[in-house]
Amino acid sequence: MRALVVDETGEDARFRLADVPAPLRVQDEVLVRVVAAGVNPIDRKTKLGRGVSAAIAEYPAILGLDVAGVVEEVPYAAHPLRPGDRVYGMGRVPRMSGTYAELVSVPSMSIAPMPNAATFVEAAAVPCAALTAWGAVVDVARAHDGQRMLIHAGAGGVGHFAVQLASYFGANVTTTGSPRNAEFLRSLGAQRVIDHTSERFEEVAGEQDVVVDLIGNVIDDTATRSLDVVRRGGLIVNVPTKSWPTMAEEAAARGIRATGFVVSPDARTLSVISRLIDDGAVRVHVDEVFPLADGEAAHARLGEGHVRGKLVLRVADDPE
C-alpha cells in the first residue's frame, strides 16, 4: 500500500511517500480503507521527536490517529460492522501503524459508523479532537446548566468541539480567541469571547467554576494564570501533555482541583457524538484539506498556529 512515512523523528524528520506492506488484521481489529486522515498536534509532536516518539519500535513509521474510510475486513461474519460500511475513529499510534496510509487496522472498539451528515473529510476531523473535548468537558468537568466554564483556544481543533459541547450541556461558556474568530466562536455557543491579543483573560473573565486549558504554560504561562480565575474548590482540566509540570502543587496551594486528561478511542462515545452531529447540535469545521503527498505542508501549517478547527489529509477519492 501507499503510505506517508518518516525514517526518523526529530527536527530534521521529513515525510516521504513509500510503498509499504499492508497491515495484517488480527483478533478484534477491523481493516479500513482510508479515505481521509485527520492531522492532530500529537502527530506533529511525535514527528518532531516528542509526543509518543519514544515508543516507536521501528522505522519507517506511519503516523496519524484519525481515520475516516470504508471497512475492508471484519473479525467475523456476524460482526456489527460489515465490509463496505463507512466508519471513522482512532488508531493507536505507535502501538500500531497510523492512518496516513491507504489501509489501517484498528481495534473494533475504536471505530464507529460515520455520521450521516458528515463527509469523509469532515468525519476524519472528528475523532481525536471531539473525544478529547468530550472527555474534558463532559466526563471530567461534568458540564451542566449554569456552570461557568472558561475554555482556552476555543477556535482550535479540540476547542471548537469543547465550546459546542459545553454550551449544549448548559454551561455558561467564556472562551479566548483572536478577533478574526470571535463571530465563529459565538456561533458555536460561546457567550463571551475574550480577545487574547488585547486583553489579559485573568483581568476580565471573572470567577469561573472550571477552566478547560488547551494551551498550558507553553504560551505566556496560560495555565498558571488560569488559577486567578477559578473559584476556590473549582477545577482546572489541563489537556496538553507535560505542558504544566507543577500543576498539582500550584493548584493545591490555591485550593483548586486540577487534573490532566488523556483521550481514549472509545467507539461508544463516538457514536453519541455522531448523533449530535446528525442532529445539528455539533458541527465540524475543516480549515484546510491537503493531499496525502503534502503531509509535510500540512504539518508546517499546523506548526504556524491559528488553525480554525482541523486540518485533514485526503488519502483517496470518496467511494461511489
Domain spans, the chain: 2-126+284-314, 129-260
Check whether 90 has a pLDDT greater than 90: yes
Residue 115's pLDDT band (cuts 50, 70, 90) = very high
| CATH class given for the domain over 2-126+284-314 | alpha beta
Q: How many CB atoms lie within 10 A of CB 86?
A: 19
Mean pLDDT of 194-206: 96
Exposed / middle / buried, residue 246 (Cβ in 10 Å: 0-12, 13-18, 19+): exposed
Phi/psi for 232 (5° steps) reads: -60, 130
On the CB side of 203, CA atoms within 13 Å amount to: 5
Burial classification of residue 57, based on how many CB atoms lie within 10 Å of its CB (0-12 exposed, 13-18 middle, 19 or more buried): exposed
- Confidence label for 89 from pLDDT (cuts 50, 70 and 90): very high
CATH superfamily of 129-260: NAD(P)-binding Rossmann-like Domain (3.40.50.720)
Is the pLDDT assigned to residue 283 strictly greater than 90? yes
Q: What is the pLDDT of residue 241?
A: 86
Q: Confirm whether 2-126+284-314 and 129-260 share one CATH topology.
A: no
* pLDDT given for residue 320 in this prediction: 83
Rounded mean pLDDT, 69-74: 98
Put simply, whether the predicted model's pTM sits higher than 0.75 gets the answer yes
